[in-house]
A and B are shown apart, each in its own frame.
Chain A
Amino acid sequence: MSLGTFIHVLPGSVVDTEALLDSVLASLVAGVFVTVTASVAIFGFATAAEMQRNGRDLAAIGAGVLAAVATLAFAGAIVLGIAVMIHG
């Protein structure tokens, strides 16, 4: 391919748009999901500790469960991401 041809190639004809969009979408979903789950886990743990200090045991358990679920989701997302990478 000559330099002239190179310059005149239209991006749309050479870019695998589907792969690029899939890549953008996967990044967006993964990045936001991981942040949401981590934030909810932190919220849950911090709230559970505060509730326990205030003697509100039931609320503390609820917040603890929320934190545990969010932590599992966070860990699951990481494991899933690595598994997808390894198994193509």
Chain B
Amino acid sequence: MDGDVVLVIVVATALVFDFTNGFHDTANVVATSISTHALSPRVAVGMAALFNFAGAFISIEVAATIASDVVDAAAITPTVIFAGLVGAISWNLITWYFGLPSSSSHALIGGVVGAVIAAVGTSAVEGEGILGKVLIPAVVAPVVAFVIGAIAIIIAYRICARLRPGPVTRGFRLGQIVSGGMLALAHGTNDAQKTMGVITLALIANGNLPSTGFHIPTWVIVASASAIALGTYTGGWRIIRTMGTRIIKMDSAQGFSAQGAGAAVILASSHFGFPLSTTQVIAGGVMGSGAGVRVSAVRWGVAGNIVAAWFLTLPAAAAIGAASYAFTSIFGDGAAGPVILSVLAIMLGLTLFARRIRQGQPVPTV
């Protein structure tokens, strides 16, 4: 009975994480479309939510990686996964509150790994899976996006060099409707699958699903798709300023190149089951499309701050995940710990929201 209560809490928490993931990452997905005036903020966010929802249905490779290649599902309990989720959500909220771009994906993996280490030690951590399917692709993907963004903008400028700027700007703004949609689709497919993977992991840990023969129940896919889409629609306007204009000042061709590079990398990686940080990939594309025109156009100082925030994500989320598990274990193995921690986390989250609202609405436009 206690196990089922905890499982319900885990599923609810995973969906909250999915919501915060969409909420947090909206800015990354729509910033380029908004900053080049290809789309109004409202349309961009609405479109991103729609494509996030659709994207969740097109692949399950990333979910399989999360459920089987990060930690040993047979060695952990739903409470451990819950603690990991608390670590991820807390880090997402902290970085949102301070306006720092971060990686929801790395926060999730960091949180879960931290909680697992606190609960059963390093023996249940799939080190090879984390290294081969998470860490190395995490380093490679933004670099590839940077290179594609740079090549793409050089080609685009060469082809359109002799044209008047008006039609070129209008053309690439139209193109950005497609590339922005693809980027949102890519974001939906990679990020929603992480939640699907975590819920599936909890179902396996609780004995509701067999540990062999990977399968995601349809309700998990629909719930994950809905949560990320709702989170995206609710939006994280505050970070738009950082991603959209503080890295480089973009024109529509650069916006198109950056979005195309990001979408191509995320979709291809999703196909091969690599759970990427969509934030890092998009930032790589944005910087590449700036550097392809003029290296000095990229505000590397801001990019450096963002990179520093990325390096903090895994250890910080892991530390919070571990602390969350330690806290729940004070109350024994039953549902009391997760229930008490949930109440405290909700109170803390509401306090942060209230403070943010009192300090003024996040940035509505760029």
- Residues of B close to A39: CB separation below 8 A: 155-156, 159-160
Chain A residue total in the interface (Cβ 8 A): 44
Say yes or no: A28-B128 contact (C-beta < 8 A), given A38-B175, A40-B159, A46-B171. no
Mostly helix, strand, loop or mixed at chain B's interface? helix
Chain B positions 55 through 86: 1 when the CB is less than 8 Å from some CB of chain A, otherwise 0: 00011010000000000000000000000000
- Interface contact B160-A30, CB-CB below 8 Å: no
Per the bound structure, the CA–CA distance linking A11 and B171 in Å amounts to: 44
- Residues of A close to B155: CB separation below 8 A: 32, 35-36, 39
- Residues of A close to B131: CB separation below 8 A: 6, 9, 11, 14-15
Q: How far is the CB of B358 from chain A (nearest CB, A)?
A: 43
Most chain B beta-carbon contacts within 10 A, residue among A14, A22, A36: A14
- Residues of A close to B123: CB separation below 8 A: 1-2
Q: How many interface contacts (CB-CB < 8 Å) are there between A and B?
A: 152
- Interface contact B152-A27, CB-CB below 8 Å: no
Per the bound structure, the CA–CA distance linking A14 and B133 in Å amounts to: 9
Partner of A78, one of B128, B167, B182, B265: B182
- Residues of B close to A49: CB separation below 8 A: 167
Say yes or no: A42-B267 contact (C-beta < 8 A), given A15-B131, A35-B256. no
- Interface contact A30-B268, CB-CB below 8 Å: yes
Mostly helix, strand, loop or mixed at chain A's interface? helix
Chain B positions 169 through 197: 1 when the CB is less than 8 Å from some CB of chain A, otherwise 0: 00110010011001001000100000000
**Apart from A45-B171, A88-B61, A88-B271: 16 A-B pairs, beta carbons within 8 A:** A1-B123, A3-B122, A9-B131, A19-B274, A20-B272, A24-B144, A27-B148, A27-B265, A30-B264, A32-B151, A39-B155, A39-B159, A39-B160, A42-B163, A81-B264, A85-B267
Q: List 24 A-B contacts (CB under 8 A).
A: A1-B122, A1-B125, A9-B128, A11-B131, A14-B129, A15-B131, A16-B133, A19-B273, A19-B274, A23-B269, A26-B268, A26-B271, A28-B144, A30-B264, A31-B152, A31-B263, A35-B151, A35-B156, A36-B159, A38-B256, A43-B160, A82-B185, A85-B189, A88-B59
